[in-house]
Amino acid sequence: MSASTVTTTTPAPGKSRHPYDTCPLCSASDISELRTGDCSHHALYKPVVSPLMVWMRCGACEHVFTEGYFTDEARAEVFSSTHPNEQPGADFEQNRYVSARIVERVARYVSDGTGTATWLDAGSGNGSLLFTAEEWGFRPEGLVLRPATAQGLRALGIDAHCADLTALDGSGRYSVISLTDVLEHMPYPGRGLAAAHRLLREDGVLFASMPSYGCAAWRLLDARNANPYWGELEHFHNFSRARLYSLLEEHGFEPLHYAVSERHRVGMEVVARRRTGPAPA
């Protein structure tokens, strides 16, 4: 059984999460509790969500994930507000320098040249990556889940969609897709990568960033009882570099470049190329 066909248990009345019955990446049933965290101090916390986050570990593929993902009601409550630094245009000058280093790395692998290439940024947030990609000559498009963010991006000249990546049309339309701190927010990240594979042109480039679970910096935060990611309200997954690479390969991508992220604490960034041919089954 693939991750795209796994089922989840209907949450009990009053619960805010759909429980995972199996690993959301490999579908193995060998899952067990790893540890807990407290999300009640998160800036976007809403009482509809339990303050206790239970983190699970897959015995088969070693992936780490929450016990479940939000119900529609809980998701709507959490998404009713956003971080100030994710408002379109926030801290644009400082963010421009960080985004420039990302765009420069990605542009090296774009074979059709930036002047004719379209860059889709899923999870566009403040829009900095798209504003900067446009400076390189890319045609920018944004993809967000909050209507107000999409409206704010459009007001700043960015073509922005308010939709889930898996529901977007346009096979082979994009030269670059960036998943900037997105995969860890998706209930089933493999479905997001399958959608990216479909939407990218045959030699298209994928950029992904997220916290780097299990690296030395992560372990140091754990040792000091100062790791914020065990209580990160909107995250459902903690990816190690090895598990991210294997998931990319499973879904038709070849990792090309690894870097430490400047966007968030203990972050990693990966550039990968879409392999030619149909998506893996």
| Amino acid symbol at 233 | L
Q: Which of 78, 107, 142 is the last residue of a domain?
A: 78
| Average pLDDT value over all residues in the chain | 91
Query: What pLDDT score does 9 carry?
Result: 67
Is 279 contained in some domain?
A: no
Containing structural domain, residue 55: 3-78
Query: What pLDDT score does 13 carry?
Result: 46
Is 281 contained in some domain?
A: no
Mean pLDDT of 90-114: 89
The percentage of the chain sitting over the pLDDT mark of 70, rounded to a whole number, equals 94
The percentage of the chain sitting over the pLDDT mark of 90, rounded to a whole number, equals 75
CA dist., res. 117 & res. 149, Å (int): 24
Torsion, Cα of 120, 112, 136, 174 (10° steps)? -10
Q: Report which of 33, 31, 11, 13 is spatially closest to residue 21, judged by C-alpha positions.
A: 31
Q: Which of 44, 78, 112 is the last residue of a domain?
A: 78
Shared domain for 208 and 148, answered yes or no, is: yes
Is 229 contained in some domain?
A: no
Query: What pLDDT score does 115 carry?
Result: 79
CA dist., res. 265 & res. 40, Å (int): 20
Shared domain for 116 and 242, answered yes or no, is: yes
Which position has the higher pLDDT, 266 or 149?
266
For 198-241, write each residue's pLDDT tens digit: 999 999 999 999 999 999 999 999 999 999 999 999 999 999 99
Least confident of 97-111, 149-163, 254-268: 149-163
Tokens at residue 240, please? Answer: 């190690």
Indicate the pairing of strand 139-144 with strand 159-162.
parallel
* Phi, psi values for residue 36, rounded to 5°: -125, 165
Shared domain for 101 and 51, answered yes or no, is: no
pTM strictly above 0.85: yes
For 24-44, write each residue's pLDDT tens digit: 999 999 999 999 999 999 999
Q: Which of 13, 47, 78 is the last residue of a domain?
A: 78
CA dist., res. 106 & res. 109, Å (int): 6
Shared domain for 58 and 177, answered yes or no, is: no
Q: At what angle do helices 189-199 and 241-250 cross, to 10 degrees?
A: 50
pLDDT-derived band at 4, boundaries 50, 70, 90: very low
Query: What pLDDT score does 280 carry?
Result: 75
